Chains A and B, each alone.
Chain A
Amino acid sequence: MSQWIQLFALEFAVVAIAALVLLWDAFAPRTGRAVGWITALLLGGVLAASFFVDGSGAAPHGVFVRDAWVVFHERLFLAAGILGVLGSIDWLAMRTPKRQAEYYALLLFSLAGMMLLAGARDWILLVVCFELMSMPLYVLCAYGKQDGPASEPKLAAEAGLKLFVTGAASSGLTLFGLALVVGMTGTSHIGPIVTGGPVGSGPAPLTIVGMLFVLAGFGFKVGAVPFHMWVPDTYQGAPTPFVAFLSVAPKAAGLATLAIVLLGGWSASSSVWLPALLVIAGASMVVGNFFALPQTDARRLLGYSGIAQIGYALLAIATQSRGGLAMTLFFVATYVFTNLGVFFVLHAAAEEGGGHTLARIAGLSKRSPWLGGALLVFLLSLAGIPFVAGFWAKLFVFMEAWNAGLVTLVVLGVALAVVGLYYYLTVARSTYMADGDRSTPVRTGFALGAAIVVCLFFVVGLGLWPKPLVEAANHAAAGIVSGR
């Protein structure tokens, strides 16, 4: 029993914080920003505790395994959660002062789902964790339903429903695929043997159909082409501080799931899923980068950019090597800090400028040089310019893919990265070159400012000194793929 508590200590702590926040709100409502700050501080405590609690081990029947892989993801999700809370504090206190605690509680429940997800080695646990992660996101998406800049239509309900319909449809796809896979193999363990036919004959046709259904279901969740339709609409409609969180943490969790399933569980049947994965990765890079070009709303642009970035991450998973998986982790970790930063700066600018279109954030650098500079650094990191974090991420991913023989996709990826540079710099140009209709500095709340500074610290710091994260990623990847 005591081992159980150690295994899930951090997850229990996160759920306990959520319960505490809800209870506090019930007994002492309208506490202003305090509830957000307490949530962030307690989450920080959990993150700190992850360095002292050694909860490695396995639950009975191997349904949950806690190793370096899980610890890496727990810290990543906690960091994203803390930043997500920090970025929301000012917005929530201003826009929905009476309904703050639910927001944090839902975000924490989603966080708990993600943290458990990384250790799940059983299909039932994996599906339940995935839904625990997804369902609060549907609600949060429609949270500020009456809020937003006056000049923009109120799209939160539409955004929430779109995320819900695609999310539920992908759950249906995954479940149906799992019915076939689990039914044919007779076990719900995500193990290395998936045949369903006679021993040594490879997967049976029904198993193959099931595996492709499952892959499609997870493709929806990470927003890869051709399952990406919801991404730009949801990003445009949902509250921006929440989109910042939505654009990174669930994506990281989805990629972790894909790695567990494809590299950990189905590594022996890679002839089935590898062609599909390569097509999805290539299509995501092409569609994401080219559809981002004509966008005038910065959030839609970042939505398509996110699709392209997922393509790069999938390329690294497709290498099927330990090094490739480690670079997926490195890529995702840098992407978490970069994309959070971009959305936070955008949020600060849009709150004052009255909208998220490129015209509305024009002249940001003249009004607030620090915010403009931070945005430029984040955009350069997304584009992969030396020497910010995103450069190493792209370089390492392409190197691993090249070594794995995926030459065509690497060439495609490098070419498309140039396209990416163009539209990222379009955003930067509108903040530096164009003149806005206002000249006063952009006021940024303390919490939002702190979140931006932390993101900036990591993006620049990892750009100058990526080695610790690379080593941690290599260590973590060994939990899924053994060998080189």
Chain B
Amino acid sequence: MNLTHCLLLASFLFCVGVYGLLTRRQAVAVLLALELMMNAANLAFVAFAHFRGGPGQLFVVFALAITVAEVAIGLALVMLLYRRHDDTALDRASETQG
């Protein structure tokens, strides 16, 4: 296993995340997709740090904290949407026009 394998895995995860972000209509699934994108980045950071050195691992500590805060806000917003629409499907909640 070398750097290329790890980066391929990270890219694959990132693509799965982007695919989920673009196709999923449930807000919770979108949050999961976002999480997948962030973690793909973290995997790439750690892989680079392991095989080539550099500040990648330090970066991951900060990135994890950011991700957690972001998901907390995201879930709160999904709750807000649910209270208003009794539904977390994004396409049914969309009312802005133009």
Contacts and interface: CB of A to CB of B under 8 A. Distances in A.
Interface of A: 123-124, 127-128, 131, 135, 138-139, 142, 145, 153-155, 157-161, 164-165, 168-169, 171-173, 175-176, 178-180, 182-188, 206, 232-233, 236-237, 294-297, 300
Contact of B80 (A131, A157, A171, A300): A157
A172 B48 contact: no
Given A145-B80, A179-B56, A233-B96, A169 B70 contact: no
A307 to B, nearest CB: 13
B98 A160 contact: no
Nearest to B93: A158
Interface string B35-51: 00110111011011100
Contacts of A175: 37-38, 41-42, 63
A232 B84 contact: no
Given A171-B66, A176-B10, A182-B55, 14 more contacts: A154-B84, A157-B80, A158-B93, A158-B95, A161-B27, A164-B73, A168-B74, A169-B37, A175-B63, A183-B48, A206-B7, A233-B96, A297-B98, A300-B96
A183 B44 CA distance: 8
Contacts of B47: 183
Contact of B44 (A127, A180, A232): A180
A187 B53 CA distance: 9
* Among B7, B47, B58, B74: residue with most chain A CB under 10 A: B74
Query: Which 7 pairs from chain A and chain B are nearest by CB?
Result: A183-B48, A172-B37, A179-B44, A175-B41, A186-B54, A176-B41, A233-B96
B14 A182 contact: no
Contacts of A171: 38, 66, 70
A433 B17 CA distance: 51
A159 B37 contact: no
Interface in B22-39: 27, 30, 34, 37-38
Contacts of B83: 157
Contact of B17 (A124, A131, A154, A172): A172
Contacts of A294: 98
Contacts of A139: 73, 76
A179 B74 contact: no
29 contacts: A123-B59, A124-B55, A124-B59, A131-B66, A135-B70, A135-B73, A138-B77, A142-B77, A145-B80, A158-B96, A161-B27, A161-B74, A161-B77, A161-B93, A164-B74, A165-B30, A169-B34, A172-B37, A172-B40, A179-B45, A179-B56, A180-B44, A183-B54, A183-B56, A186-B52, A186-B53, A186-B54, A187-B55, A233-B96
B59 A188 contact: yes
Interface of B: 7, 10, 14, 17, 21, 27, 30, 34, 37-38, 40-42, 44-45, 47-49, 52-56, 58-59, 62-63, 66, 69-70, 73-74, 76-78, 80-81, 83-84, 90, 93-96, 98
A140 to B, nearest CB: 11
B72 to A, nearest CB: 9
A294 B98 CA distance: 8
Contact of A158 (B10, B69, B94): B94
A76 B5 CA distance: 46
Nearest to A146: B84
* Among B40, B41, B69: residue with most chain A CB under 10 A: B41
Contacts of B95: 153, 155, 158
Contact of A183 (B37, B45, B94): B45
A295 B97 CA distance: 10
A138 B72 CA distance: 11
Contacts of A165: 21, 30, 34, 74
